[in-house]
Amino acid sequence: MTNPNAHDIKVLNGLIETTLDSADGYHEAAEQTEDPHYRTLFENRSAERRQVVEALSGAVRSLGGDPEPHGSILAKAHRAFLDVKHALLRNDDSVVGSINSGEGFIADKFEKALEDTSISATTRETVRRAYAAIKIGHDEMHALKHSLEGQRDASNPLYPT
């Protein structure tokens, strides 16, 4: 017998996997930065993402499914690449830039899930609430990236005064 909620479970598990990847990425970013402000920011964001995972996991269980327990292999490989990149560049700009890229990816996944006309209204509302939390982090990292770019540009001797 197939679960009538199979599609909703699949969509939610895909979001869980991506959100776990995000939480792990923030955790690793916190370990890589030497700036205590960034460390706290990244640790808080990781914890917030784990709360989103818990909410989505509860929704999967309520639909009769098993929540995804792990992030993706591809994300682990990507983070390993970023570890090497950060070690070579030795700056927080590279970490923030990588996080901003990841934020775009996770936001796209949630937006696609919200556009999925095959999910139930209950699942759509669960995704909408989770996306609201994700969007805050996305917007904050986007602003931080642009702030760092502005600082870098302002220190350039060719920056217009």
Q: Distance between CA 84 and CA 110 in Å, rounded?
A: 29
Residue 63 has pLDDT above 90, yes or no: yes
* 127 in Cβ contact with 119 (< 8 Å): yes
Q: Does residue 73 fall inside a structural domain?
A: yes
pLDDT of residue 113: 97
Q: Does residue 1 fall inside a structural domain?
A: no
* 108, containing H or E segment: helix 92-115
Tell me the pLDDT band of 161, cut-offs 50, 70 and 90.
very low
Between the CA atoms of 103, 104, 110 and 112, what dihedral angle is there, to the nearest 10 degrees? Answer: -170
Residues 25-49: tens digit of each pLDDT: 888 888 878 889 988 988 999 999 9
Q: Distance between CA 106 and CA 56 in Å, rounded?
A: 14
pTM, two decimals, is 0.79
**CATH number, position 136:** 1.20.1260.10
Chain centroid offset of residue 50 CA: 10
- CA diameter of the chain: 70
Nearest to 17 by CA among 76, 92, 72, 91: 72
Q: Does residue 64 fall inside a structural domain?
A: yes
* DSSP collapsed to 3 states, 52-78: HHHHHHHHHHHCCCCCCCCCCHHHHHH
Q: Does residue 159 fall inside a structural domain?
A: no
Domain membership of residue 44 as a residue range = 6-154
Q: Does residue 102 fall inside a structural domain?
A: yes
Q: Distance between CA 137 and CA 112 in Å, rounded?
A: 18
Count of domains observed in the chain: 1
Q: Does residue 38 fall inside a structural domain?
A: yes
Q: Does residue 39 fall inside a structural domain?
A: yes
